[in-house]
Amino acid sequence: MLLGKCSWGKVTAMTIENVLSLKAITKTYGGVRTLDGIDLELQPGETLGLIGHNGAGKTTLMKIILGLIRPSSGQINVFGQDPAGRNHGNVARQFGFLPEAVSFSGAMTGLEVLKFYSRLKNIDVAQCPDRLAAVGLADAARQRVKTYSKGMRQRLGLAQALLGEPALLLLDEPTTGLDPDFTRTFYRLIDERRAAGAAIILSSHALAELEPHVDRLLVLQHGQCIAQGDMAELRAQTGLPVRIRVSGGSGAVREELAALTDVKSNRINGRTVEFICAPEQKMELIELLSRAQGVEDLQIELPNLDRIYSHYNNNGGREQ
């Protein structure tokens, strides 16, 4: 099925510097603290990756931002207002939200679902067919939702979240049930919203697919922010080693490395050796390798988000 190309309008709702500001946010349920001192600012056109283990507090944080629940303490402003205050309705109309568990009335058609949510947000229902086409559901627009597969319901949820060109998007495990082709389409649509000026919060366990599409990351563990920053900052904070694979005359390469201390190496096969070095040794190692006899190819692998998250999830212990 061909997916329709969607061109989103520019975000014009914000006249303030930060879309979102959280200061020392806590949330306690029955004596159990699920969020503990969360600070966060989010600007227009910025995408934040929110990651953490199940029960880390990600969904609770989203509910507080949406104004569905109030924090136990701390200060929150969304578009300069309290999202749970008396202006909740006006603030909420600038949101787009895709929950982890998408649920719609099975008796309604996909088009009826979108029209229902359009009316809730005071949005022209005439845009609904185009939104369905953008997520590949044009042919299923008049089918009842109970006939939809899990992936189709997830697409419908995305179409609902994108109604009205929201200035703030919150997406909780948005690619669950999506096939690889539409996962790429999903991220294209999200990147278009970011380019139009929307602020986006993405929560996902699919770290490899998330990494290229976020500007910053916030790592939650047991309700606390244990790390926050872009990939370069997180790599610097963790100090995880760099892996460099060299193909060619491995004997000559090893001899050239005699001047470097604390550089580990593993023979991958008869022609490839992997070197593991500290970040501060990377440039010296690359320079040595570039001069070594017999080197035919060189690949550099910086710590990816999976490795960074594993580092933090293991209480900052050394990578095995």
Query: What's the pLDDT tens digit per position in 181-206?
Result: 999 999 999 999 999 999 999 999 99
Please report which confidence band the pLDDT of residue 294 belongs to, taking 50, 70 and 90 as the band edges.
confident
Please report which confidence band the pLDDT of residue 7 belongs to, taking 50, 70 and 90 as the band edges.
very low
**Token pair for residue 111?**
């088009």
Q: Give the gyration radius of the chain's Cα atoms.
A: 23
Instruction: Report whether pLDDT(292) > 70.
Output: yes
Please report which confidence band the pLDDT of residue 255 belongs to, taking 50, 70 and 90 as the band edges.
low
The string of pLDDT tens digits covering residues 216-235 is 999 999 999 999 999 999 99
The string of pLDDT tens digits covering residues 155-188 is 999 999 999 889 999 999 999 888 999 999 999 9
Query: Structurally, what CATH architecture does the domain formed by 20-235 represent?
Result: 3-Layer(aba) Sandwich (3.40)
- Tell me where in the chain the CATH 3.40.50.300 domain(s) lie: 20-235
Please report which confidence band the pLDDT of residue 207 belongs to, taking 50, 70 and 90 as the band edges.
very high
Q: How far apart are CA 3 and CA 20, in angstroms?
A: 32
Instruction: Report whether pLDDT(11) > 80.
Output: no
Mean model confidence pLDDT for the chain: 87
Q: How far apart are CA 23 and CA 139, in angstroms?
A: 46
Question: CB-side exposure of 64: number of CA atoms within 13 Å?
Answer: 27
Instruction: Report whether pLDDT(295) > 90.
Output: no
CATH assignment of 241-302, among 3.60.15.10, 3.30.70.260, 3.40.225.10, 3.40.1710.10: 3.30.70.260
- Tell me where in the chain the CATH 3.30.70.260 domain(s) lie: 241-302
Q: How far apart are CA 3 and CA 56, in angstroms?
A: 35
